[in-house]
Chains A and B, each alone.
Chain A
Amino acid sequence: MNDDSVIRTRGLTKYFGRKAAVYELDLDVPHGCVFAFLGRNGSGKTTTIRMLMGLLAPTRGTGTILGQNIRALTPEIRARIGYLTEEHQLYGWMKVKDCGEFQSKFFPKWNSKIFNGVIGHFGLKPAARVKDLSRGERAGLCLALTLAQEPELLMLDDPGLGLDPVARRALVESMIYLTRKSDRTIFFSSHHLSDVERVADYVAVFDRSILRACCPLEKFQDSVQQVRLRFPGAPPALPQIPGLLQAIRTDNELRVTCVGYNGATESILRTLSPLELEPVPLGLEDAFISYLGERGEKTFILSELEAKA
């Protein structure tokens, strides 16, 4: 357990009806880092963030954010947290500049320069009405409203959603700018793994309501490994391999992706007597897809497929 945690949860659980959206989540987010929260759609990322923000009551378990119980966040704590919601909802009748003026009245550290800078970066006209903005423009405005609060902790729920690659790059640059100040922490969920790779110090990966990974980014990438095995003919049946994520069988090749590949794993694979066994380097995206993709063996042997057909 880290005493320096900005966010800490213990057994945090949320049920919607009979379905557990988040199950027994234990999480510690250190101070001053960029923490990426990954997972497929419906895996529980947004639910977790909404619970952390005190917007959704947990079914059980505890959590603190900036040292305060998430079930009773005070205005003082809220002033220290910038929160960007997933769908970038704002009051449609407001103008861009009205949104800034509105928020500035509440947040004591409001920085108009940041607000104007970000809306300028996204090419937003101050007189434009929110309802007339595109989804990406609205995301940019929401980001401006969040960043201008100069928060200690930034909670971003899929901030890149709806942004084009240029805008996303702008967002990433903003995040890098923010983390230059060491007292800032950024906790964000995303599906854009290239962005994660660029800025994140740590990743947490959710798989069907359960936290399966929480580690430094490099550690995650290092832990998910793939090896290619060549055979003279059809690959033999795969024995039990610890940490197996995927095994893809083709006519004379077997690709095995697993977590925690080590000497013991290699020894097991060597029992299959492959002609060749070579590691395949994986990027974060490949590692992530393998990690959260369908588990088990897949066969792409042409003769078998034809026979089935």
Chain B
Amino acid sequence: MKTLIQKDLRENLKVALIGLLIFSLLLMQAYGSCASMLANALRGNWSGQVNSLQPLLSQSLLVPAAFFCALFGAALGWLQTRNEAHRDLWAFLIHRPLTRTEIFWGKTVAGLCLYVFGAGLPVLVLILVVRQPGHVAAPFEWEMTVPLVTIFLTGIAYYFAGLLTGLRQARWWVSRSFGLGPAIVASFGTFALPDFWMVYVLLLIVVVILATAAWGAYQSGGWYLGQPVAGKLALIISLAVGCAIVLLAGVGLTSGLLIQPFVKTSYEYSYYQMTREGEVYKVTMRDNETAEIVDLDGHPLMDPKTGQRMDRKAFQMLTAYGGTVITSLDRPLPHRNLIEDSGRFFNLLNITDKTLWYLDRHGKLVGYDGRSRKFIGTLEGHGFNGVVAADQFLLHPGGNYYYSYYNSYTDVPRKMLVSAKTVYQVDFKERSVRPVFTLTNDDEIGGYVANEVATDGNQVKKLLLTTRRTVQLLDSEGRSLLELPYQPGFAKYPQVELTYLPSTNLLPTYAVWFFPDGELNQRAHWTMPIQVRWIGPDQAITKTAELPTLQTDGTESWSSKLMPALLLPPLLHMELNRKMVSAWNLLNYAVAAMLAAIAWQLVRRHNASVKAGLGWTLFVFVLGIPGLLTLLVVQEWPVRETCPECQKPRAVDREDCEHCAATFAPPEKNGTEIFAPLVKT
């Protein structure tokens, strides 16, 4: 096997070298774009994704890397088999005292070594460069390498898919590439699954399936028949996924080009909005146009100037504004997938005097010199490079994850940051941290947001924060402007909105909204109301209201129901409809049953066993059209010819007729046969 590995390494080294070159250039280009992002940031004219400053997390690196690893892996696998596609060269390879499994593993080991060389080496070099102080002016942690390493590993799935594509013999030439389906699913998983362990589990499953399918193809020279059972199963799964993707793409295109332009779909949603007088109105939007603005009794809001119904533009002039806090106490982070996850490592807070200040995920303010790109120190509760362990700053201001991901940079010399107990005034210019407010009891801060509020013509910075027990509003010096109990509690109502209402007698008034948790509310069938409190100048609650949750009402056309009912597998359709019995589900079952019957007919007609027939029938019933497509793509149908005995069509791959058990006739004699015993003299 060693010799075979050496042969394959030598044979495909050129491909790996080309891959290495292309990938290195790609990574260098992405690294360079991160460097120019930094230069722009230092010039003060930058806004963009925070993670662009760390190449390992930058989408401008991860997305091209994902494409490259997929293409390179698939090309390497495909070329490794296509080089020996000529039947005589294939025979030269196969006819040697090795099992086909040994030959397969020999080639695979070589292929994977070349993949690691072509795609892994540039990744490793990039990680080492980025890790080296002075190269990237952003925090580095080993965990940041996970997205890129995952993308690199996904290429292995493509490698096996490429092997399978190169090997597979198929009646429909295009269907050879359907084996790429599981690898494409792994790629989507890399970007969409909520946690990396899930990605790795998916990747492991996909690699095992594709490797088994490729191994099976090696056993039979690429044909379905003649493969071991494991190979057949893996091939069926791989091609089923490929068929489903092709079907989805086909339906998407058909729907987009042929159906959607002619079918009108309507979409409607409503929300509440409060005027500066503290009145609540329900605004309903239909197809992105304002359909109506009504009060809570359902009366339309009239424009006093025109006497007509008020339009949205005029209504906006009347509405009050405020700030929203999501209390993230006792809650896991909302997203941890590849794209969203990159933002959880750090958040760029400020650039002052060419120093970039990041709030890292450990709650520390870390500074990097923009010119030398080196770490310069931390700003903590005890000042610059404080030696005493300080409070950790809370990471996601307002609990809104988006802000840690996208950063619009403004050169603000001071900023308020919050730890679990304390509100700090951070001065980046002076590199100082000053506590302005501290919780004195055993309470804990759960979320905060800083707002610029216009009060009597002045812009005043205020901080809205929620704790386990209270909702508080502070001014920039930490003085309490409002404090009220957190009722009905953050566990069920994590989102709090404070609406600033115009002052009366120079004393401000507010309205506080408590929004129920979306998931809990859905489970309660949207019965949890939105709770609103109006706060008077003396901080007393003057009024309360419970507003019903407004559900999105998407009215879908019959075509948007019909297509899934016809095309989706029953299991998926049922999951989407969330009802066992409905008219569309019944139609879906009927279609699946019809397809299963077709599958049974096809398989039995071509002489498969009852066991195989039942297996395929069940498979097609469960998977629907993708299942039937898979059957047509996978199965090799034997030719049928008329039996001279019973005149029925019989399969030529049987030793006798399946109808009358007549054997095949020996070749017809024409009187010129010359046969004699072969006895060596």
List chain A residues, Cβ under 8 A from B3: 102, 105-106
List chain A residues, Cβ under 8 A from B87: 50, 55, 85
Question: Among the listed A24, A79, A224, which residue makes an inter-chain contact with B97, where contact means beta carbons less than 8 Å apart?
Answer: A79
- CA of A259 to CA of B98 in the docked complex: distance in angstroms? 46
Residue A33, interface by CB 8 Å: yes
Most chain-B CB neighbours within 10 Å: which of A86, A91, A245, A291? Answer: A91
Residue A28, interface by CB 8 Å: yes
A50 touches B678 (CB 8 A): no
A210 touches B678 (CB 8 A): no
- CA of A205 to CA of B463 in the docked complex: distance in angstroms? 98
Q: How far is the CB of B452 from chain A (nearest CB, A)?
A: 70
Number of interface residues of A (CB under 8 A): 67
Residue A180, interface by CB 8 Å: no
> DSSP majority for the A interface?
mixed
Within 79-125 of B, Cβ neighbours of A (below 8 Å) are at 86-92, 94-99
List chain B residues, Cβ under 8 A from A28: 678
B678 touches A212 (CB 8 A): no
List chain B residues, Cβ under 8 A from A50: 87, 91
1/0 per residue B645-681: CB within 8 Å of A? 0000000111100000000101100111111111110
List chain A residues, Cβ under 8 A from B670: 212
- CA of A202 to CA of B681 in the docked complex: distance in angstroms? 11
B88 touches A259 (CB 8 A): no
A220 touches B674 (CB 8 A): yes
B98 touches A75 (CB 8 A): yes
List chain B residues, Cβ under 8 A from A224: 674
A106 touches B674 (CB 8 A): no
Within 606-665 of B, Cβ neighbours of A (below 8 Å) are at 638-639, 641, 652-655, 664
Within 56-109 of A, Cβ neighbours of B (below 8 Å) are at 56-57, 59-61, 71, 74-76, 78-79, 81, 83, 85-91, 93, 102-103, 105-108
Most chain-A CB neighbours within 10 Å: which of B95, B97, B223, B670? Answer: B95
Output the nearest chain B residue to A91 by Cβ-Cβ distance: B11
Residue A30, interface by CB 8 Å: yes
- CA of A224 to CA of B674 in the docked complex: distance in angstroms? 9
List chain B residues, Cβ under 8 A from A259: 671-674
Given A15-B652, A33-B680; A85-B672 close (CB under 8 Å): no
List chain B residues, Cβ under 8 A from A2: 677-679
B680 touches A201 (CB 8 A): yes
List chain A residues, Cβ under 8 A from B677: 2
B92 touches A78 (CB 8 A): no
Residue B220, interface by CB 8 Å: yes
1/0 per residue B243-277: CB within 8 Å of A? 00000000000000000000000000000000000
B226 touches A87 (CB 8 A): no
- CA of A279 to CA of B561 in the docked complex: distance in angstroms? 86
- CA of A259 to CA of B2 in the docked complex: distance in angstroms? 56
List chain B residues, Cβ under 8 A from A215: 674-676, 678
List chain A residues, Cβ under 8 A from B655: 11, 60-61
Q: How far is the CB of B106 from chain A (nearest CB, A)?
A: 11
- CA of A59 to CA of B637 in the docked complex: distance in angstroms? 11
Residue B362, interface by CB 8 Å: no
Q: How far is the CB of B307 from chain A (nearest CB, A)?
A: 81
Given A24-B664, A33-B678; A243-B652 close (CB under 8 Å): no
List chain B residues, Cβ under 8 A from A107: 96-97
List chain B residues, Cβ under 8 A from A125: none
Q: How far is the CB of A29 from chain B (nearest CB, A)?
A: 7
List chain B residues, Cβ under 8 A from A239: none
Q: How far is the CB of A231 from chain B (nearest CB, A)?
A: 25
Residue A223, interface by CB 8 Å: yes
1/0 per residue A219-259: CB within 8 Å of B? 11001100000000000000000111100000000000011
A87 touches B88 (CB 8 A): yes
Q: How far is the CB of B576 from chain A (nearest CB, A)?
A: 42
A83 touches B676 (CB 8 A): no
Most chain-A CB neighbours within 10 Å: which of B3, B88, B223, B678? Answer: B678
B95 touches A89 (CB 8 A): no
- CA of A219 to CA of B677 in the docked complex: distance in angstroms? 10
A212 touches B92 (CB 8 A): no
List chain B residues, Cβ under 8 A from A83: 91, 95
Given A33-B680, A212-B673, A259-B671; A85-B88 close (CB under 8 Å): yes
A291 touches B221 (CB 8 A): no
Given A90-B89, A106-B3, A215-B675; A32-B98 close (CB under 8 Å): no
Most chain-A CB neighbours within 10 Å: which of B2, B654, B674? Answer: B674
Q: How far is the CB of B166 from chain A (nearest CB, A)?
A: 16
- CA of A224 to CA of B86 in the docked complex: distance in angstroms? 39
- CA of A229 to CA of B595 in the docked complex: distance in angstroms? 70
B95 touches A29 (CB 8 A): no
B88 touches A75 (CB 8 A): no
- CA of A53 to CA of B92 in the docked complex: distance in angstroms? 11
Q: How far is the CB of A234 from chain B (nearest CB, A)?
A: 27
1/0 per residue B1-21: CB within 8 Å of A? 011000100110000000000
Given A28-B678, A89-B86, A93-B11; A55-B639 close (CB under 8 Å): no
Residue B436, interface by CB 8 Å: no
A57 touches B676 (CB 8 A): no
Q: How far is the CB of A48 from chain B (nearest CB, A)?
A: 14
Residue B204, interface by CB 8 Å: no
Within 468-509 of B, Cβ neighbours of A (below 8 Å) are at none
Given A55-B221, A81-B95, A215-B676; A24-B666 close (CB under 8 Å): yes
A85 touches B679 (CB 8 A): no
B95 touches A78 (CB 8 A): yes
Residue A211, interface by CB 8 Å: yes
Output the nearest chain B residue to A243 by Cβ-Cβ distance: B671
A55 touches B90 (CB 8 A): yes
Q: Which 3 A-B pairs have the closest CB atoms?
A: A215-B676, A85-B88, A79-B97
8 contacts between A and B (CB under 8 A): A57-B221, A57-B226, A60-B653, A88-B88, A89-B86, A89-B89, A202-B678, A243-B671
Residues of B within 8 A of A (CB): 2-3, 7, 10-11, 86-92, 94-99, 220-221, 223, 225-226, 638-639, 641, 652-655, 664, 666-667, 670-680
Beyond contacts A85-B87, A201-B680: 15 other A-B pairs, Cβ-Cβ < 8 A, are A2-B677, A2-B679, A33-B680, A55-B87, A55-B95, A56-B221, A75-B97, A75-B99, A81-B95, A83-B95, A105-B2, A105-B3, A215-B674, A244-B671, A245-B672
